[in-house]
Structure 1
Amino acid sequence: MKVAGINTKHPFNLYYNGGEYVKICGTQDGYFPDFGHHVANEMGGIWLHPIKLLDGFWLKLTDTKRNISVWSRADGFTSEPWGSRFQYDHGLSYIPIAMERTQFAPEQVKGMTAGYELHHYGEGELHLKVELFTRTDLRAVWYSDEVGVRKGAGDQATVLNPREVLVRDPENDWFVQVGTDLPGDQLEVGTELYGPEFTAGAGCGIAFRTELTIPAGESRRFNLFVAGSYVSAEECADSYRQLAANHQELLVEKQAVYNAVADRAKLTIEGEADWNDVFTWAKWNNQWLIQKVDGTGRALTAGGPTYPWWFGCDNTYSLQGVLAIGDPQLAKDTLNLLLQKSEEVNGNGRFIHEVTTLGAVSNPGNTQETAHYIAFVWDLFRWTGDEELLRRHYAYCVKGIDWLLEEMDPDHDLFPSGYGIIEIAGLNMELIDSAVYTAKALQSMAEMSAYLQDAAAESKYSELATRCIDSINRSFWQEDEGLYADAVAPVSDVAPKIDYLVSLAEGQGVTGYREYIEGLLAKATNRGTADSADHGWLLNKNWVIVTPMEAGIAEPDKAHRALDNMRNDTFIGKYGTYLSGTFQQGTMTISTGVHAVAEAANGNADAALDLLNRMRRSFSRVLPGSFSEMSPDYGCVVQAWTIYALAVPFIRHFFGVEPFAARQELKLRPQMPSAWSGKACTLERLIIVDAEFDLSLTEQDGVLTGQIRNDAGWTVTVEWNGQTISSTEKLIELNM
């Protein structure tokens, strides 16, 4: 399966290829322009995190008889799950050469390879001068300067032979070895040597040159090999030898990995080929974002190429989807890395927000993500049954609750203050997402305590959860709007922020916002309560006001009203749920995904599918086979939490999958959208710990039929329309 073609409206769109070690990012025409803001103009190229290896590589062809030279620029692009292919059928001007470049990064080798095939489609012999250029740029990931890690004055090259060059940073043990099997021995190396693009950085240019004679109708092949190390020249050389000797076998191995990813949690909805393909690509996209760094860990990064490091809140969403698609080890690895960094940097229960691949924590954690982390620990345990992992994280979760309800909740109303997932300067107050996930965290702590047989803790957390939930439904609920508020705060906290909030709105082109916010202020003041009393505020109608329904915290009547009141063009646009109903300036897969989960969790499968169908409109808009961070077409070209937006509604709600691995129990509460009525809906190789299940369900006229393969003999319970069946049979037949 592949997705082909350059988007002709934006011919310089990015692509992203990833092994677990090396990431490759350039434009779909085969070039490597400078771009990026974290490390200014350096976010593309070839990265072996935490270091960059190359700015890029380029090929120049010269027809020596006619003295025509062309820098090869692709006019076709094919996105493969395992890498990329570039076609140069018409982009080589008057030289009768068709060319394809195929590139990939092996999963477990610190390097990458690009293979070229040149085909002479003209007449007679073609005499070519071939020049393969690379530009090194050894430097560390963003935020390295702040922790005292800096690159040396310039890359230093050592010619190993005419077809292999080793380059190192003079101040650090950072190495890149570049080579080729291009015949000949012409080589040029120099700091002032560039290809067709002048790239930033104090790197080194390398040009491998040769002359080829190609008879009519024949082809020639050669490869570029790039290997790196942040440890030693010896390790770099070893990786290079693996690539040069075994690149074909490594590609076969990589393709096998991606075939296995496709076969896990394999979704097939009859008559819905587009959704089946999109779901498969979302799983592959997730694999691209795994980043392994020796000595630091292996975890899921947030997005490529702009956020190629690890985040707290991104992962407490993303890993819910990762569990659903059958990769519990990645979920464990990721959460363990984040826990380790949280303990090192905070130690008080606060869960980190952002850690680079160098291991540097740039933000020790927003309020919302500590609560969300605690809630996810219980979720992870239900899917893995790993009691050792539960006990390790539980100890930090206890500290996390104390941090939330003591340091971050000085007025002791169970609503911790501080930034949530919406990081807008000035909005560091008692926010809806932080409150909701704190309630969910308290529920999870009660569940964990019960499982660990700590009755006193269970009672304590249960009582706090009940109080917190009641308070949310009382304090955040806006009866006149039929919605939950963005925040709770006294008038005295909001009044000084009016000018700033108005400036944000006006900056987004929103008119009439001053009148709106002053109206809210007047209404709160006219209630006659003290300026220090809390009020609920719908300041921006941010998407997180849907979280009470997503997390099951909203009272049923309020959930029904709020969801009804959000099914309109204030909150929902062509591509899904706006980040802000007031601004309507952006949409993300996470805003749409959480909204879809909220609908599905409250029995509204059709509304959930409508949101996901809107999100699907942005698929392949920039990178064929992927969703962008911002819908439809900007930000990162691949984003981790998209797997939450798809796998959680589909697997956890449409198929209704609820495991309790430690008890070998699987509960199914399916709810199929009406658009799928009468269609066979299958989910093959649903993996929970070491058990596999195949689900085949069809709903028609209120009757559920199908089969469940249960080779592990777990207790499988199916609930449907008030009916319940429970069985340990290896093949369970349904007719409910």
Structure 2
Amino acid sequence: MTVKPDSGRRRRRGIALAATLALAAGTVAVPPAQAREKRQAPGEELTTSTRLADRRSVVIGDRFYAMSTADGLYPAAGWHITGEMGGFWTPPVKLLDGVWFGVNGAWLGKQARAESHTVGYGYTRTRYAESGGVRVERTDVVPDGLRAGLIGLTFRADKKRTVRLDVDAHSELMTAYPWGGTSPNQGVYNLQDTGAYEDGALVFRERGKPPVDNASEHDFAALVAADRKPVGHRLGPGHRGPQEPPVICQDADRCDDSEFGKGTGGRLTYEVQVPAGRSVTVWVAVAGSDRGDAEARAALRSALRDPEGLLARKKAARRAVAANTVVDLPGDRLLQRSIEWSKQNLADSAQEARDLRVRVTHEGKQFPAPKGVVARARWLGAGWPDYPWLFGTDGEYTAFASVAAGQFENIKAHLRALRDASEIANDRSGKVVHEVVSDGSVYFGANDDKGNTDETAKFPSAVALVWRWTGDRRFLDEMYDFTVRNMRYVTEKLDKDGDGWPEGLGNVERTGMGEEKLDNNVYTIRGLRDLADLARAKNDTATARWADERAARMEKAFDKTWWKGGDTDQYADSIDDPNDPANDNAKLFQRHWIGVTPMDAQLVRPGQVTRPLADDKRAHVALAKREEECYTGEFGLYHTGTGPTSAEGGNKGPSCDSAVSTVQSERVIYSLGTGIMAVAEGNFGRLAQQRRYTTANARIQLDPDVYEMPGAMPETAPSPDFDPANIDRKLTERSMVLQAWGAYGTLWPVVRQQLGVDPDMGRNRLEVVPQIPPGQSRVAGRSIRLGSGSVDVAAESRGKTLRTVVNTARLDGVALRIGHVLPSGAKVASVTLDGRSVAYSVRNTARGAEVVVDAGARRGASTLVITLR
């Protein structure tokens, strides 16, 4: 069952997956961390050779993506449209269920067994066992900017051979929305495909108008061809290679097609001359369009004109991604490798579509006429294969990872797309939509939907974050009006009882919660403070004053209203019990992960040091409790902790307090929740404790005993209540194999907290105040993008000497404040900057005492040395 922390019921309604979650107790046993780390190969590739038929593999470009299993086959996968979320896609349409390759009658992945699968920066490679004296290596790549994907088959033989290559393709031209459980559903909306052979290519079309009110005429096309002429072809309803005849998804553990399928098939046959001892590569392209076959043919020609060149350019582009935020963590190489792969995951997540017809579906219950069109949208897809489209919550968390990785352009585009869709769907009210499918369908988040309080409140914070890291005045100017309306909407429309605490759904949507949720109000306070900061940059003093004053009132009342206290040592999850309207602010405690958000959210206040909302004393107590086994498992933070409960089944785990909850625990670990816990620990200088959570996210990405796809951060970790893990589940019942938001829990802790990079580029200011984790002596990072330049940082702790080196040679006119977090209880003997004694200050922060020095606006290296007593 895929249950996302920010989604709950709204993403699951109509999906009917609840029965798939096995609530089995226990933990997942894995080898010791040191043994695992020794097996991790550095560099641009990760290879696995086990359970290839069970592993999903995705290869992604910004206009096209494909998902198979790691053996190169295409079983039915995904659950939004059951069994149809894999295969080949060019958003907003699916093109093919799959492409299969027969070599002298032996199908790759079946008779010719896959021996290994490699994930590289921007490509995958699969090696097959020898069959009939021929070995084949397959390379999959999707060029960016092109609605096409490429598969290169490299043949090698011990002697000169003529190889017959059969290429089977089965179409499934289908829109990303409607889904299987919506009204209408895809069974009604999907039309029959047709197949033809033209100019050496298989040509599949779906043309017509679905028999649904407000549907429009469409012309979808998918083409398959190679970089040479075929010697034969066939057309017919099948052509699925070794997956013919197909098993239809009903109760089957593994299937090949869904009840919604209306595709057709074809085969291209080639003769390939393979010289003795030399290799030859055949390139096969899949191209498509939702605008007819002319665009698809153009994409096919572009893909086949120079496949090797496109592969080389993709690799070069991904090496450019790798060249930003290059970290050196000698005391934590696993986390260092996670940073490298997290940057690639974020680059993989970029998606783009044109002419999105924005229609509000009210959780799939309606299919009205579109309210407007977004001509071009670019975004960070939330997760593959079932969430590759635009989300509010996902993007607002992923924004932190994006700026830390230096990937400014994609997160700016994501926020613009979210604004554009929201303005149309919600009539410029200021409310942010939750979920927009790549065709423009808004599943949830309209004005009359009870939700999105957190997403609307987080939007100004995401804009402020991007503004501080980029200094992009044009971006600030174009987004500012929307951010003002965001916070006006939250405070004026969502606080119906007038108590100062907004209502509505937030990150967690579970039964028994009060009308006012903790995370919504935490992020409302932060959103107001960030809006005030944006307003000051815009010289909008009235808005700045209003937002600061509103935030200050909420902050003053926060602990009294939300701290549950007793032996819970936690904040309440919600207040305002709907079953007890006379007691408006009754505190409800259910142990959901959102209890960490007061420690996660940093507040920018004028004239004050930036710090989290939670006060130090309560934060340390609350975080320590969250580290106990009632809240945290081997792979991170549970969605809902264990303890006394009146829910059916009783307490299913240990107890850390005596409070009786009304809901059942949910010991499912999401990479986002673990990431938020890692960030919260770092906000309070708890880097020894933080490592438990950064390691958890790194392991599910890089540990060969844990990951499904090497290098891909998944949505869900092995968990007591998510057992079996993804790789042991049906392909139609898995959570996401690649999920963007988990990078928040690796990139941000390293760049912002350990390296201490804190920019305000819109005001030409930069603070760098590192904190080295206990037991380590050095952390460093280079080419950390800020504005139009970058900064290098190195921090050391050796004996009684702390050293911070900041190189601003690639920044122009930025006023630098340089410092270091002191070890607990340490006293300063002397401070020098570039070898000279210098005035300094010691400020108390949530991270601990910080020594800071104003280094001025100079370019080049600045070296701060602190000698301790």
**TM-score, reference length from structure 1:** 0.89
Matched residue SS, 2:56: coil
Contact 1:130–1:209 at 8 Å: present in 2 too? yes
1:379-528 matches, within 5 Å, as 379-425=465-511, 427=513, 429-480=515-566, 481-490=568-577, 493-494=578-579
Aligned residue number for residue 735 of structure 1: 865
Please state if 1:359 is matched with 2:440.
Answer: yes
Q: State the one-letter code of the partner of 2:527.
A: A
The offset of 1:167, in angstroms, is 2.1
Aligned residue number for residue 138 of structure 1: 173
- Rounded Cα–Cα distance in structure 2 between residues aligned with 1:178 and 1:314: 34
Matched residue SS, 2:586: strand
Q: State the one-letter code of the partner of 2:667.
A: Q
CA pair 183-431 structure 1, distance change in 2 beyond 3 A: same
Aligned residue number for residue 511 of structure 1: none
- Among 579, 585, 588, the residue aligned to 1:534: 585
- Rounded Cα–Cα distance in structure 2 between residues aligned with 1:609 and 1:235: 49
The offset of 1:222, in angstroms, is 1.3
- Among 740, 743, 747, the residue aligned to 1:640: 740
The offset of 1:203, in angstroms, is 1.6
Contact 1:24–1:46 at 8 Å: present in 2 too? yes
Q: State the one-letter code of the partner of 1:549.
A: M
Contact 2:121–2:318 at 8 Å: present in 1 too? yes
Deviates more, 1:688-697 or 1:265-274: 265-274
- Among 643, 663, 683, the residue aligned to 2:781: 683
Deviates more, 1:713-722 or 1:311-320: 713-722
Contact 1:151–1:169 at 8 Å: present in 2 too? no
Structure 2 segments unaligned to the other structure (5+ residues): 1-42, 209-217, 247-255, 355-374, 446-450, 602-611, 643-664, 719-724, 727-734, 823-841, 843-850
- Among 85, 110, 114, the residue aligned to 1:74: 114
Please state if 1:19 is matched with 2:61.
Answer: yes
Deviates more, 1:373-382 or 1:285-294: 373-382
- Among 705, 722, 728, the residue aligned to 2:803: 705
Contact 2:50–2:116 at 8 Å: present in 1 too? no
Contact 1:328–1:689 at 8 Å: present in 2 too? no
Deviations 1:442-494 (A, max 9, x none): 2122222222223332222212111111222111102202211111124xx24
Contact 2:338–2:746 at 8 Å: present in 1 too? no
Deviations 1:584-637 (A, max 9, x none): 521111111111111111121221122211222222410011121101453211
The offset of 1:705, in angstroms, is 1.6
Matched residue SS, 1:641: helix
- Among 400, 409, 412, the residue aligned to 1:332: 412
Matched residue SS, 2:242: coil
- Rounded Cα–Cα distance in structure 2 between residues aligned with 1:533 and 1:584: 27
- Rounded Cα–Cα distance in structure 2 between residues aligned with 1:392 and 1:215: 60
Please state if 1:570 is matched with 2:630.
Answer: yes
Aligned residue number for residue 58 of structure 1: 100
Q: State the one-letter code of the partner of 2:234.
A: E
- Among 847, 851, 854, the residue aligned to 1:726: 854
**TM-score, reference length from structure 2:** 0.76
Matched residue SS, 2:177: coil
Q: State the one-letter code of the partner of 1:115.
A: G
Contact 2:406–2:785 at 8 Å: present in 1 too? yes
Deviations 1:684-705 (A, max 9, x none): 1111120211112212335322
1:560-599 matches, within 5 Å, as 560-582=620-642, 583-599=665-681
Deviates more, 1:472-481 or 1:215-224: 215-224
Deviates more, 1:101-110 or 1:712-721: 712-721
- Rounded Cα–Cα distance in structure 2 between residues aligned with 1:138 and 1:17: 19
- Among 86, 93, 109, the residue aligned to 2:126: 86
Matched residue SS, 1:329: helix
- Rounded Cα–Cα distance in structure 2 between residues aligned with 1:625 and 1:69: 22
Aligned residue number for residue 156 of structure 1: 194
Aligned residue number for residue 695 of structure 2: 613
Deviates more, 1:163-172 or 1:242-251: 163-172
- Rounded Cα–Cα distance in structure 1 between residues aligned with 2:108 and 2:400: 55
Deviates more, 1:395-404 or 1:548-557: 395-404
Please state if 1:225 is matched with 2:285.
Answer: yes
The offset of 1:31, in angstroms, is 0.5
- Rounded Cα–Cα distance in structure 1 between residues aligned with 2:117 and 2:108: 25
Q: State the one-letter code of the partner of 1:88.
A: Y
Deviates more, 1:464-473 or 1:317-326: 464-473
Please state if 1:623 is matched with 2:709.
Answer: yes
CA pair 98-247 structure 1, distance change in 2 beyond 3 A: same
Contact 1:38–1:142 at 8 Å: present in 2 too? no
Deviates more, 1:471-480 or 1:176-185: 176-185
The offset of 1:533, in angstroms, is 3.7
Contact 1:62–1:70 at 8 Å: present in 2 too? no
Deviates more, 1:587-596 or 1:394-403: 394-403
Contact 2:98–2:240 at 8 Å: present in 1 too? no
Matched residue SS, 2:628: coil
Contact 1:111–1:228 at 8 Å: present in 2 too? yes
Aligned residue number for residue 645 of structure 2: none
Contact 2:52–2:69 at 8 Å: present in 1 too? no
The offset of 1:426, in angstroms, is 5.3
Q: State the one-letter code of the partner of 1:319.
A: A
Matched residue SS, 1:170: strand
Contact 1:61–1:71 at 8 Å: present in 2 too? no
**Greater helix fraction, Structure 1 or Structure 2:** 1
The offset of 1:331, in angstroms, is 1.5
Matched residue SS, 1:15: strand
Contact 2:177–2:441 at 8 Å: present in 1 too? no
- Rounded Cα–Cα distance in structure 1 between residues aligned with 2:701 and 2:281: 34
Matched residue SS, 2:620: helix
Deviations 1:10-34 (A, max 9, x none): 7411011111111110101110011
CA pair 129-406 structure 1, distance change in 2 beyond 3 A: same
Aligned residue number for residue 16 of structure 2: none
Contact 1:167–1:175 at 8 Å: present in 2 too? yes
CA pair 160-571 structure 1, distance change in 2 beyond 3 A: same
Structure 1 segments unaligned to the other structure (5+ residues): 496-529
Q: State the one-letter code of the partner of 2:58.
A: Y
- Rounded Cα–Cα distance in structure 1 between residues aligned with 2:616 and 2:105: 73
CA pair 125-240 structure 1, distance change in 2 beyond 3 A: closer
Aligned residue number for residue 103 of structure 1: 140
CA pair 70-586 structure 1, distance change in 2 beyond 3 A: closer
Contact 2:335–2:694 at 8 Å: present in 1 too? no
Q: State the one-letter code of the partner of 1:234.
A: A
- Rounded Cα–Cα distance in structure 1 between residues aligned with 2:530 and 2:46: 45
Matched residue SS, 1:560: helix
CA pair 350-180 structure 1, distance change in 2 beyond 3 A: same
- Rounded Cα–Cα distance in structure 1 between residues aligned with 2:76 and 2:293: 27
The offset of 1:41, in angstroms, is 1.0
Please state if 1:305 is matched with 2:385.
Answer: yes
1:271-310 matches, within 5 Å, as 272-294=332-354, 295-310=375-390
Q: State the one-letter code of the partner of 1:489.
A: D
- Rounded Cα–Cα distance in structure 1 between residues aligned with 2:479 and 2:273: 64
The offset of 1:415, in angstroms, is 1.6
Matched residue SS, 1:569: coil
Contact 2:379–2:390 at 8 Å: present in 1 too? yes
Q: State the one-letter code of the partner of 1:103.
A: D
- Rounded Cα–Cα distance in structure 2 between residues aligned with 1:213 and 1:386: 55
Please state if 1:43 is matched with 2:85.
Answer: yes
Q: State the one-letter code of the partner of 1:653.
A: Q
